[in-house]
Amino acid sequence: MARGPAYQVAFRRRREAKTDYRRRKELIASGLTRFVFRCSLSNSLAQFVEAAMNGDRVLVSAASQELVRDYGWKAPCGNMPAAYLTGFLAGLKAKRKGIEKAVLDAGVKKPVKGSKIYAGLKGLLDAGVEVSCDSDVLPSEERITGEHVAEHWRSLTDPEQRSRFFSQYLAKGLTPEDLAKHFQDVKENIRKAFSQG
């Protein structure tokens, strides 16, 4: 380990690879609310965060589990359509709170073009919140609606493979072939809930 009077230990969150302080400083200097989107294999989380001297404040939050609980989502919560719907839900909640503009905070890892983070961003844009981004990074419509999942389902002919690969879908009574229609139904449920209230 380095020693001496000029050596300075990095901040703990930097050492743990949780925060890139240079990028965070740029995002905060923009003066806009940060749209923080995080994905795991089984969940998506969208938050609108405002920086403050005593810590960040979450203004609006949406999780993919809400899709199941409140809007009838039957597919897994970690896939691309769920990421889009989570961003869409967060966008409608943000509009209700008066947030019109935001900046994407993708975290420490650089997101890949067409990834779930950009699916969430596309949902946010479709909800009407303005975020500056290049349209080339957004995933295609067929990936957002889950049509690629239906194509994979159709390509498998062995029933054992189908039941193994798509066990989560089948356990909830959803055939992957119907995912695109189910996606549109849930999106409409979300839209109706916010147009009424």
- Is residue 7 assigned to a domain? no
- Over range 91-102, report the average pLDDT: 97
- Is residue 60 assigned to a domain? yes
Band (93; pLDDT cuts 50, 70, 90): very high
Pairing of strands 57-63, 33-39: unpaired
- Is residue 44 assigned to a domain? yes
- Is residue 104 assigned to a domain? yes
Band (197; pLDDT cuts 50, 70, 90): low
Per-residue tokens: 1 = 């380990």
- Is residue 8 assigned to a domain? no
Give the least confident one: 6-10, 27-31, 86-90, 142-146.
6-10
- Is residue 1 assigned to a domain? no
Number of domains in the chain: 1
Bridge partners (DSSP) listed for residue 37? 46
**Domain CATH for 109:** 3.30.420.100
> What's the pLDDT score for residue 167?
94
| Helix residue spans in 30-146 (DSSP H) | 64-71, 80-96, 116-127, 141-145
- Is residue 3 assigned to a domain? no
Domain extent at residue 32: 14-196
Model confidence over 101-133: pLDDT tens digits? Answer: 999 998 888 889 999 999 999 999 999 999 999
What rounded mean pLDDT belongs to the chain?
93
